[in-house]
């Protein structure tokens, strides 16, 4: 047993005793894992500065434990070699299975394409209830890696199995996984075959694809046949949904973000004037996104999932909640989109924490899957003074935005991972990601852990065994 493993075991004992206290309470152990996709410390700081000001804090930042997890993927062509920048597929696989894999893979091993048992499957075998909640399509890499097994994250629906555009190495075909070839099918099919109790998110464009074109049956039909109640509207989520399995599909793909930039503004490439001096953009603020009206918030979906999971909760549950668009909006270099999603995610964290306070054996872990591109950088005046010092123009080479924060400051943000062309998207970064744990006694867990350690923490808390490793 490694020192890290021992320390984590100690921490779990401390955590459990902190949760159980002196009582002989036999209430079941539950785990709520909240993943802010792409939510590294830069993205949290940016959102905190904007919303609460430099002295403010999010609910997740009030948790007793705050540490960091090393992000590591492995190379597909040589799984013994580390890859330092991961994606949601490799990150979620590490969290869901305790094993490292290559980018794009959904709970399968790098190089050898072997299925890896996930915490949802282990929980199901032990009779626990399970649920997945996301602001993205449920077929997206993060929720998918908690139950599906496929070599490429792009195989979201039956029509997607032939592979993507070929531009990205992980948009590979998954023809071996087609059901007619003896496989488990696309991610959407695997989700509805999974027997997960609750799934709330989006993805109708994948679930409406045909599984049997001769008979005109879709993945939604398959879900109904397997006992899922399929709901699609906010009103159906807020109304009593009754007992049984529920598949909530509240949009065709990713749900609309809570915020956007004033007049739709995002970060922009800086262009020089005729003298070669940079023209910095004007500052702007964030505003509510009217397209978000009628869309269930992540907090609401989390609250409903917890209410339903808590009914007849005899053996405990595992719930994964993903704030997906922190990452997505960072790809679009849209700081207001990102900031609003961090706030929406933190509201879901508050819901989880309130549940944990009322239900003592509930472990709440908040983390991210990988880093993103948003960076807080100097204001134009700093670049101008640098230009004077160096005798030539100075400016951010990426996309740059100036935001007027709610406390009245101006914050400069840039996205500079790749060439400044409006049609391209920014890419991930390789920074460690934050970990917040509610109820953990300080000093128990090392400050720096690995993503795979989070899998073990969760399993230990639920009293479950990992069979595959
Ligand atoms: Zn991403």
> What mean pLDDT do residues 372-395 have?
96
Contact 250, 237 (CB under 8 A): yes
* Cα 340-303-353 angle, rounded to 5 deg: 80
Is residue 11 pLDDT above 60, yes or no?
Answer: no
Our answer to whether residue 285 is catalytic in this structure is no
108 and 151 Cβ atoms separated by less than 8 Å:
yes
Please report the pLDDT score of residue 22 as a whole number: 38
Percent of the chain exceeding pLDDT 90 equals: 82
CA of 374 to the centre of ligand 1 (A): 12
Q: How many CB atoms lie within 10 A of CB 354?
A: 14
The larger pLDDT score, comparing residue 392 to residue 212, is at 392
Please give the distance, rounded to the nearest whole angstrom, from the Cα atom of residue 235 to the centre of ligand 1.
Answer: 30
Two tokens, residue 127: 């009779």
Position 216 scores a pLDDT of 83
Pairing of strands 399-404, 268-269: antiparallel
**How many angstroms does the Cα of residue 368 sit away from the middle of ligand 1?**
11
Find the 14 Cα to ligand 1 centroid distance in Å: 35
Position of tokens 């009582």?
Answer: 23
CA dihedral angle for residue 285, residue 372, residue 68, residue 257, rounded to 10 degrees: 50
Q: Residue 61 is encoded by which pair of tokens?
A: 């930042």
Q: Where are the alpha helices (DSSP H) in 59-186?
A: 88-97, 119-125, 141-144
Whole-number Å distance, alpha carbon 89 to ligand 1 midpoint, is 9
DSSP category for residue 29: P
CA of 91 to the centre of ligand 1 (A): 11
Dihedral angle at the C-alpha atoms of 126, 132, 137, 141, nearest 10 degrees? -60
Output the CA–CA distances (angstroms, integers) from residue 41 to 59, 192, 296, 320, in the order listed: 15, 35, 26, 21
Quote the pTM value: 0.94
- Predicted local distance difference test score (pLDDT) of residue 10: 45
- How many Cα atoms are found within 13 Å in the side-chain-facing hemisphere of 298? 33
Q: Around 153, how many Cα atoms within 13 Å sit in the side-chain half-sphere?
A: 26
Kindly report, residue by residue over 410-448, the tens digit of the pLDDT.
999 999 999 867 778 999 999 999 999 987 654 589 999
CA of 73 to the centre of ligand 1 (A): 14
pLDDT in tens, 54-103: 999 999 999 999 999 999 999 999 999 999 999 999 999 999 999 999 99
Q: Across the chain, which distance is largest between two alpha carbons, in Å?
A: 76
| DSSP states along 38-83 | T--HHHHHHHHHHHT-TT---SGGGSSEEEEEE--EE-SS-TTSEE
User: Quick check: 143 and 132 in contact, CB under 8 A?
Assistant: yes
**pLDDT tier for residue 169 given thresholds of 50, 70 and 90:** low
Task: Please pick, among 88, 186, 194, 297, the residue that the annotation labels catalytic.
Answer: 88
């Amino acid at each position: 047993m490694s020192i890290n493993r021992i320390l984590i075991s100690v921490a779990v004992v401390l955590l459990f005793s902190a949760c159980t206290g002196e009582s002989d309470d036999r209430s079941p152990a539950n785990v709520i894992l909240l993943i802010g996709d792409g939510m590294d410390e830069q993205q949290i700081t940016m959102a905190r500065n904007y919303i609460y000001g430099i002295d403010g804090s999010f609910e997740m930042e009030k948790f007793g434990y705050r540490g960091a997890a090393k992000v590591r993927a492995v190379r597909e062509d040589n799984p013994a070699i580390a890859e330092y920048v991961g994606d949601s597929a490799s990150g979620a696989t590490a969290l869901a299975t305790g094993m490292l894999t290559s980018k794009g893979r959904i709970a399968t091993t790098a190089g050898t394409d072997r299925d890896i048992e996930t915490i949802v499957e282990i929980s199901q075998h032990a009779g626990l209830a399970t649920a997945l909640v996301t602001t993205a399509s449920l077929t997206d890499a993060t929720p998918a890696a908690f139950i599906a097994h496929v070599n490429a994250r792009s195989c979201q629906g039956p029509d997607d199995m032939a592979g993507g555009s070929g531009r990205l190495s992980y948009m590979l075909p998954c023809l071996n996984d087609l059901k007619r070839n003896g496989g488990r099918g696309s991610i959407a099919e695997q989700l509805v075959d999974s027997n997960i109790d609750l799934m709330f998110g989006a993805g109708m464009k994948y679930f409406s694809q045909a599984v049997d074109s001769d008979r005109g049956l879709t993945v939604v039909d398959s879900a109904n046949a397997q006992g899922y109640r399929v709901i699609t509207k906010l009103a159906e989520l807020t109304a009593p949904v009754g007992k049984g399995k529920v598949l909530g599909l509240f949009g065709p793909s990713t749900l609309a973000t809570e915020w956007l930039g004033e007049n739709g503004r995002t970060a922009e490439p800086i262009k020089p004037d005729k003298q070669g001096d940079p023209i910095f953009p004007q500052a702007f603020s964030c505003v509510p996104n009217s397209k978000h009206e009628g869309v269930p918030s992540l907090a609401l979906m989390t609250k409903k999932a917890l209410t339903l999971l808590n009914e007849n909760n005899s053996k405990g549950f595992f719930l994964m909640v993903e704030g997906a668009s922190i990452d997505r909006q960072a790809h679009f270099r849209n700081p207001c989109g990102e900031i609003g999603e961090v706030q929406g995610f933190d509201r879901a964290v508050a819901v989880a924490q309130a549940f944990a306070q009322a239900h003592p054996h509930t472990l709440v872990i908040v983390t991210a899957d990988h880093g993103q591109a948003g960076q807080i950088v100097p204001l134009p005046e700093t670049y101008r003074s640098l230009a004077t010092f160096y005798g030539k123009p100075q400016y951010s080479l990426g996309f740059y935005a100036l935001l007027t924060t709610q406390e009245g400051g101006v914050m400069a943000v840039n996205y500079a991972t790749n060439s400044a062309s409006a049609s391209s998207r920014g890419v991930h970064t390789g920074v460690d990601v934050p970990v917040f744990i509610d109820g953990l006694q300080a000093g128990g867990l090392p400050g720096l852990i690995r993503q795979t350690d989070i899998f073990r923490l969760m399993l230990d808390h639920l009293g479950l065994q990992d069979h595959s490793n």
